Structure 1
Amino acid sequence: MGKKRILFLTGDYAEDYETMVPFQMLLMVGHEVHAVCPGKQKGDKVQTAIHDFDGAQTYSEKPGHLFELNYSFDEVDPENYDAICIAGGRAPEYLRLTPRVIDLVHHFNHFNKPIAAVCHGIQILTAANVVRGRKLTAYYAVGPEVTLAGGEYMNVAATEAVVDGNLVTSPAWPGHPKWIAAFLEVLGTKIEL
């Protein structure tokens, strides 16, 4: 299968690695990736945050890079995309309050298009009520939301990914190698070595 068009959803205080790395990796393999955020236009920037594990009971948060969006959210037509990829971090907790974000997720779910989400990005999927009866993972603190939304929360290591049909999830950025590889497989992307 050839080049795919992927909608990439991020926002202010999305996790830095969970924004930069998937966006760049998907471009690297030749896909067209439109990075968007509700309320922002092409050329606007989002402030990312670096979530690190410093020995506290939860992650710490440090300022990340500014990430430039390459497409305007208001111009998104989900019919024009083959898949959606959702960054984690703090952005999903407020992005899920945007009805249009929920509508977009419903589109991808309804048409069985690939959906990739990492870490707290799964909060958007639970808010859209598309995880019922599905196996998926998330940052462990989001696990109760997955269960309450009717999904089967898979408690896997941060370096792992879980695939259930068109749905590809991972608990956190250490899972990028397996998460992105699984997403590419679901997309039908072949990489020759």
Structure 2
Amino acid sequence: MAVRKIVMLVGDYVEDYEAMVPFQMLTMVGHVVHSVCPGKKAGESVRTAIHDFEGDQTYSEKPGHNFALTASFDEIDPNAYDALVIPGGRAPEYIRLNPRVIEIVRAFAAADKPIAAVCHGQQVLVAAGVVENRLCTAYPAVRPDIERAGGKWGEVNDTFSNAYVDGNLVTAAAWPGHPEWMRKFLEVLGSKIEP
């Protein structure tokens, strides 16, 4: 398996499972993952939030862990990476306001490099203008944003466990979709996991 170099865009109150679990899974199979946050450097951390589905009209939110950053945001060069991961949570709603975040996402999209986004991470894709005519899913509250941006909505199943692939783009609705989302992302990356 070829080792891929992946950048993960996070910010304070990124969803805990949506940052930590993909980071660990991608690292476990041998890929190099650089987690970065606008305004922060390698060795610093972001706070996370745990979003859960407990029968309310929307998800609940609880304090999570600190998630370590493994690279400095200002040093990221999209040309030096093979793929991009954008977790959800509260971070996407404000990191998408950073012009450099938008430049990075557009560079990956223009180069047709694999992009994986989950939950509210698709807010960053919408802000970057890279979902037009693309099939994707997200947390259902993000559906209007995707559709207004010209994206094609992928229905979310009852357990929030499905994921969609459209070319280089792999999306899922929330952390319960990690097994399918990460499996499909690994396939797009060309990673082979032997049973």
Give me the identity figure in percent: 64
* CA distance, structure 2, for counterparts of residue 155 and residue 117 of structure 1: 15
Q: Give the Cα separation in 1 of the matches to 2:180 and 2:56.
A: 26
The alignment's TM-score, normalised by the length of structure 2, stands at 0.98
> 5 Å matches for 1:54-65?
54-65=54-65
Aligned residue in 2 for 1:180: 182
The Cα offsets for residues 106-136 of structure 1, whole Å up to 9 and x where unpaired, read as 0000010000000000000000010000100
**Residues of 2 paired with 1:147 and 1:11: CA distance?**
25
Mapped to 1, the partners of 2:71 and 2:194 lie a distance apart of: 30
Q: How does 1:23-172 map to 2 (within 5 A)?
A: 23-157=23-157, 158-172=160-174
Q: Secondary structure at the match of 2:18?
A: helix
Give 1:154 shift: 1.1
Tell me the alpha carbon deviations over residues 18-51 of structure 1, each in whole angstroms, 9 at most, x when there is no partner. 0100000000000010000000000111000000
In the TM superposition, what whole-angstrom CA distance separates every residue of 1:162-191 from its partner, at most 9, and x where no partner exists?
A: 000000000000000000000000000011
The CA deviation string for residues 68-127 of structure 1, in whole angstroms up to 9 with x for no partner, is 101100110110000000010000000100000000010000010000000000000000
Alpha-carbon RMSD? 0.6
Over 6 Å off, 4+ runs: none
- Can you give the 5+ residue segments of structure 2 that lack an aligned partner in the other structure? none
How many angstroms apart in 1 are the aligned matches of 2:71 and 2:177?
A: 26
Deviation at 1:192, TM superposition (A): 1.4
Match of 1:191 in 2: 193
Aligned residues: 193
Deviation at 1:53, TM superposition (A): 1.3
